[in-house]
Amino acid sequence: MQFIKLVIRNTFRQKLRTVLTVFGMAVAILAFCLLNTVLEAWYIGVNSASPNRLVSRNAVSLIFPLPLSYRSKILQIPGVEQVAYANWFGGVYIDEHHFFPRMAISPDNYLALFPEFIIAPDELKAFQRQRNACIAGRKLIEEYHWKLGDTITLTGNIYPGEWQFVLRGIYHGARNTVDETAFFFSWNYLDETLKKISPTRAGNVGWYIIQIKNPADAAQISQKIDALFKNSWAETLTETEKAFQAGFVSMTGAIVVALRVVSYVVIGVILVILANTMAMTSRERMPEYATLKTMGFGNRYLLMLIAGESVFISMLGGLVGIAVSFPVAKVFSQRLGTLLPVFAIQNRTILLCLLVSLGIGAVSALIPFSRASRVRIAEALRHVG
């Protein structure tokens, strides 16, 4: 207890220096925390993917469709439990700046394959009964102030025309890592309309979502599905949902690398700042360290004294930075909207920030301790800091 009191008193001897160092540390940890939260949000689809879901798309590209007739054939493969399908719709709501995912889905079973989407049973039934019904995520409802029964109009770009939907359901995520910005409507409505305006585009889907019994059979089932349609006019590429999501993230690999580099630079800068603070402190206290040596305190005690002060300053700044990051992240989440639909600080990010703070404090104490341990007592007593 006496040692802890000594560390705290030493820390606040130079109050202005300590406050400025803690402030700098807090800003750096705040930046590090937010950058890592951006990376977490970027990979949220990959990390949230279910191991018992496969995605089958056109082997050439996702923009090429697959026939609806593939569904019944995929269902016959052993190990497959359910097969749903979806189509990217695109479209424009108000203008191009108001973007959110818009998809036509198989109304009977698509949402059943995604238990992380929670929707009231009566709303789900209303959605399934009405052809032009739609379901929207909680964040979309809050952003655009929609309510059940509202008519929502989208201007088609991939599928031309004015498309009107009636909001019949609102879903929310089973956990805070679930995207709540998606807009779903019935594929049947899309297909029936295409039969009238563009018959050649009807009867096709964008991709299949396949639920399997055993995740360990994912590779084998994927091979069987692709072999089933090999040499057809629309060959398939089937992969796990995680690999499917990772494919989108890989398209922005340069951005991810840049964010990681910036986060490392932030840590390097604050390490230099704290190391400089501890070096100045150590230089000023050389006579005190010499006195402690004269009284019989060894290098181990000096290490504990210097490292204790360094780690205390570092952890104090880290805790302040972490505490501030929550309200800042909330503001960012509101501003980013659908760009990063899940922007929340995760527990592992907090743990990483604490470990980084501890590591910076420990490393910053090495040089001052090295000087204090090697200095001669007589030389240190003559030192004027």
Q: pLDDT per residue over 49-92, tens digit each?
A: 788 999 999 999 888 999 999 999 999 999 999 999 999 998 89
Continuous H helices in 43-186: 44-47, 70-75, 121-129, 138-144
Q: pLDDT per residue over 130-158, tens digit each?
A: 999 999 999 899 889 999 999 999 998 88
Helices 15-42 and 253-284, packing angle to 10 deg: 160
* Whether the Cβ atoms of residue 325 and residue 34 lie closer than 8 Å to each other: yes
pTM above 0.85, yes or no: no
Instruction: Give the C-alpha distances (Å, rounded to integers) separating 47 from 79, 140, 207, 249.
Output: 24, 22, 20, 11
Instruction: Determine the Cα–Cα distance for residues 264 and 371; give it in Å rounded to an integer.
Output: 27
Chain centre to alpha carbon of residue 359: 24
* Whether the Cβ atoms of residue 131 and residue 186 lie closer than 8 Å to each other: yes
Beta bridge partners of 103: 88, 184
CA dihedral in degrees (75, 136, 329, 315; nearest 10)?
A: -40
Chain centre to alpha carbon of residue 369: 39
Residues lower than pLDDT 50 in the chain = none
Residue 166 is predicted with a pLDDT of 96
Residue 262 is predicted with a pLDDT of 83
**Smallest Cα–Cα separation from 17: which of 287, 282, 372, 355?**
282
Instruction: Determine the Cα–Cα distance for residues 274 and 315; give it in Å rounded to an integer.
Output: 11
Residue 245 is predicted with a pLDDT of 80
Residue 282 is predicted with a pLDDT of 67
Residue 382 is predicted with a pLDDT of 57
**Smallest Cα–Cα separation from 34: which of 319, 341, 264, 328?**
328
User: 85: Cβ–Cβ under 8 A, 6 or more apart, which residues?
Assistant: 68, 71, 105, 106, 110, 187, 205, 206, 207, 208, 209
Residue 231 falls in which region: left (phi positive, over 0), alpha (psi -120 to 50) or beta? left
* Whether the Cβ atoms of residue 26 and residue 266 lie closer than 8 Å to each other: no
Residue 152 is predicted with a pLDDT of 94
Q: Which two tokens stand for residue 107?
A: 């109304």
